[in-house]
Structure 1
Amino acid sequence: MRPGRFITLEGGEGAGKTTLARTLAARLSAAGLPVLRTREPGGAPGAELLRGLLLDGDIVWDPVAEAMLMFAARREHLAKTIRPALEAGIWVVCDRFADSTLAYQCHGHGLDRAVWDGLMGVALGDFAPDLTLVLDLPPEAGMARALGRGAPDRFERLGAAFHARVHAGFQAIAAAEPGRCAVLDATQPPAPLAAAAAAILRDRLGAPL
């Protein structure tokens, strides 16, 4: 059986990752491919418990502790959900993955990159997405969208300077790994954004979209 492909969607708050993940999963399924749509933090029972700790409440985590929790959730997600699906030939579309920890904890909070590298090695080894779509949206526009959805989570309550650093972090990640990452203009409405994403999946992964 041909293994599935692992596609991640990255970007700041309000960039449209969840909507695009839903649309891409539906298109892949309509094309006859088995698809799993998942998210981070979360995606497995233990990881969902950690999601509540990370996103809810007013705890100010030490940056190293926060990154460790993120990677603990990610390891559970990989072991219990992502890897079994890929081995079964299922395409996995994931809303956030390890790039979010690099952007939020390292670029946003100032965590030493060496800590992220070490946690990556322990939690993921050489595992990486086949394709990462980075949704690029000015952080002020993204926060306006995010805050319009309802009560903000712990990260959404952080200030404009933090989200500007996160945005710059995602730009740096995409520039450093152009073979894996593709940047999408997330100022577009959902339909043309999904069309642009589908074209990238066709070109890079041979998806029948």
Structure 2
Amino acid sequence: MRRAFFLTFEGIDGCGKSTQAKRLEQALTERLFPVTHTFEPGGTLLGRKLRTILVHDELNLSLFSEVLLFAADRRQDIDEIINPALERGDIVIGERFADSSVAYQGIAGKVGKERVERLMDIVTSGLVPDLTLLLDIDPRVSLDRKIDLDRIEQRGLFLDVVRHAFLDMATSQPERWVTIDAARPMDDVFSDVLKAVLKRLE
């Protein structure tokens, strides 16, 4: 039986999570690892419907309501994609997980770090990634990479707080987190991503 492995990418909007996750999926598949790749919000049909609400609709969502919608998407992703893949012994690559809710809504959104952590523990049934890769970048650099900013990205200084929340989380849990400078060329970033993952898989 292969040992399942769950790794996540975290970081502010525009840091390169999707690009690096896709490259990692390809590199691991070429090395004959079984890989499942998912993302939030939108990895499931429910997630795609919720993504429209979370990212584009002008519903004036409260931050706590936002947490709950992300939580619904996350639980569906766990039940539909992540847990079945882990049971098969796959390497699961996730773009965002519970840490995003803690950083974005819990800390930056002032819903409360401990409050969101407690909620996420219930939502995930205690599932924690084996490895979390933080793609760290200054918000001014990351948002310059994007053409259309969604509702969350338009919060400006909000992302500075999110960035520092992620950095604090990474510092407090060095056994799980690896911080990578994402302001460099994509190939350099990917070299560090692949090195960190293969080291853990060994």
What TM-score, normalized to structure 2?
0.95
Equivalence map 1:45-124=2 (5 Å): 45-124=45-124
List structure 1 runs of 4+ shifted beyond 6 angstroms.
Answer: none
Report if aligned partners of 1:42, 1:74 keep a CA contact under 8 Å in 2: no
In the alignment of these two chains, the number of paired residues is 202
Report if aligned partners of 1:2, 1:89 keep a CA contact under 8 Å in 2: yes
**Could you tell me how far apart the structure 2 residues matched to 1:36 and 1:204 are?**
17
Q: Given the alignment of the two structures, is residue 152 of structure 1 paired with residue 149 of structure 2, yes or no?
A: yes
Equivalence map 1:1-209=2 (5 Å): 1-146=1-146, 148=147, 151-159=148-156, 161-206=157-202
Overall identity of the aligned pairs, in %: 34
- What one-letter code is carried by the residue in structure 2 that aligns with 1:45? L
**Could you tell me how far apart the structure 1 residues matched to 2:115 and 2:54 are?**
18
The worse-fitting range, judged by mean Cα deviation, of 196-205 and 129-138 is 196-205
- What one-letter code is carried by the residue in structure 2 that aligns with 1:119? L
**Could you tell me how far apart the structure 1 residues matched to 2:134 and 2:161 are?**
15
Report if aligned partners of 1:3, 1:87 keep a CA contact under 8 Å in 2: no
- What one-letter code is carried by the residue in structure 2 that aligns with 1:191? D
Unaligned stretches of 5+ residues in structure 2: none
**Could you tell me how far apart the structure 1 residues matched to 2:113 and 2:15 are?**
24
**Could you tell me how far apart the structure 2 residues matched to 1:80 and 1:45 are?**
10
**Could you tell me how far apart the structure 1 residues matched to 2:117 and 2:106 are?**
11
- What one-letter code is carried by the residue in structure 2 that aligns with 1:171? L
Report the RMSD for the aligned CA atoms in angstroms. 1.2
**Could you tell me how far apart the structure 2 residues matched to 1:117 and 1:170 are?**
14
